[in-house]
Amino acid sequence: MFKKQLLLSCLLLLSLTGSGQQVKYPYYYQEVSNANKTVDFVFGLYPATIHYYEGKDFPAYTSMRTAIFNKSSKDTLKWKNFKVDILLKSGTLISNYVPFSKEGPFGCDYTVLADSTHYQLFCFHTQFTEPEIDKVWLMMSDDEIFSLTYDKNE
């Protein structure tokens, strides 16, 4: 009985001390909208989610999670394989590539419903880490290039 009470007390204490602490990660973001707000979304890129994968059944790649929040309360957002370009501090410019998957977190063509968020993994053939990133851009077309802002999220 004493062991149960001690275990419950420890769990309660841990939950109380940990509940006020939320881990905050830095991110890159940009709000994109047009004058009549038919396009109105926020694009976020999370370098803390960078993972490098190697395997004998697939070419090595680096992935990073993104979020697209459609701020419009009535219009859907058509996402059409828009690109992310990253300038590394070494001077190397890298772009994401289109993976074979057409659906799920790797899918590149989809619709984001009004007032909702879609998460996607962007993949790169280059291995890199968060501290190596210098600048980031969202490329929606040749004449729609948006420089993303870095936020330490402190």
pLDDT tens, residue by residue, 16-62: 445 456 788 999 999 999 888 878 999 999 999 999 999 888 889 99
What pTM did the predictor assign?
0.80
**Domains of the chain as residue ranges with CATH:** 22-151 (2.60.40.1240)
Q: How many CB atoms lie under 10 A from the CB of residue 44?
A: 18
The whole-angstrom separation of Cα 119 and Cα 125 is 20
